[in-house]
Amino acid sequence: MTENDITVDEDILHFTLETGRISYRVYQPHVTEIVLGAGCLPEREINLDVAVKDGISVRRRKGGGGTVVLSPGQVVVTLAARVSSPFRNTVYMHRINQLIIDALAELGVTGIEHRGISDLAIGERKILGSSLHRKKLFLFYQSSLLVENDLLLFERYLKSPPREPEYRKGRSHSEFCTNLRSEGFDITAEEAAEGIRRIMRNRLAEIENI
């Protein structure tokens, strides 16, 4: 296991800081890797012996929140924007997450709700986690949507988190997380990604104008 010094998708943030223009990336990971939140400790949140054995790389993201496993079958959404307020983090996160809900609704995926601080869930089970990094009037949002990924990887590589949203109620990763396929939606990660890209192209101005 190696920890890469390059944070995930940081080039998106650099572009927006330099130009003032909103930018985003929506993609499916091609390999499995572990991503630490800004303040997370590997030894506290990762099954290090298993990660080392499997040759899994570890990177960090700028934003806070817990440690996640990214893998094929997920959709990663990264967005950077100059906004009108240095505060209102929850408002911004909910507005971006709502774009994802709306994109999935256009693809026939229903029943998704905001849960916790910045999660999306179907019922009591999480399908998306997100994080935010702020630099005055700039925000850097990152999330991962669970579509058709191997959910067993969470138990394999991650320990129980030191902090959790109230609605998790102490459940294990396999009890707490689900994906769209497991919930009966016939959708691929690439279909979900294209739907999110489409709504981003059409509605990004909503984020800057809050």
Placement of tokens 């929506």 in the chain: 26
pLDDT digits (tens, 9 = 90+) for 151-197: 999 999 999 999 999 999 999 999 999 999 999 999 999 999 999 99
Q: Going edge to edge, which strands form the sheet with 57-60? A: 57-60, 33-36, 68-70
Mean pLDDT of 19-39: 95
The backbone torsions φ and ψ at residue 179, rounded to the nearest 5 degrees and listed phi first, read -135, 170
DSSP designation for 101? H
pTM metric for this prediction: 0.94
Grade residue 208 by pLDDT with cuts at 50, 70 and 90.
Answer: confident
Mean of all residue pLDDT scores within the chain: 93
Does any domain span residue 1?
Answer: no
The C-alpha atoms of residue 56 and residue 42 are separated, in whole angstroms, by 13
Flag whether 102 is in a domain: yes
Please indicate, yes or no, if residue 41 is contained in any of the structural domains: yes
The count of domains in the chain is 1
User: Is 14 within the bounds of a domain?
Assistant: yes
Specify if 3 maps to a domain: no
Question: 93 in a domain, yes or no?
Answer: yes
Residue 2 lies in a domain: no
> Pick from 29, 179, 176, 198: which is nearest to 100 by CA?
198
**Residue 62 is assigned to a structural domain of this protein:** yes
Query: Higher confidence at residue 7 or residue 137?
Result: 137
- Whether the predicted pLDDT of 3 surpasses 60: no
Read off the CATH number of the domain in which 49 is found.
3.30.930.10
Please write the tens of the pLDDT for every residue from 83-107.
Answer: 999 999 999 999 999 999 999 999 9
Domain that holds residue 57: 10-208
pLDDT-based confidence at residue 7 (cuts at 50, 70, 90): low
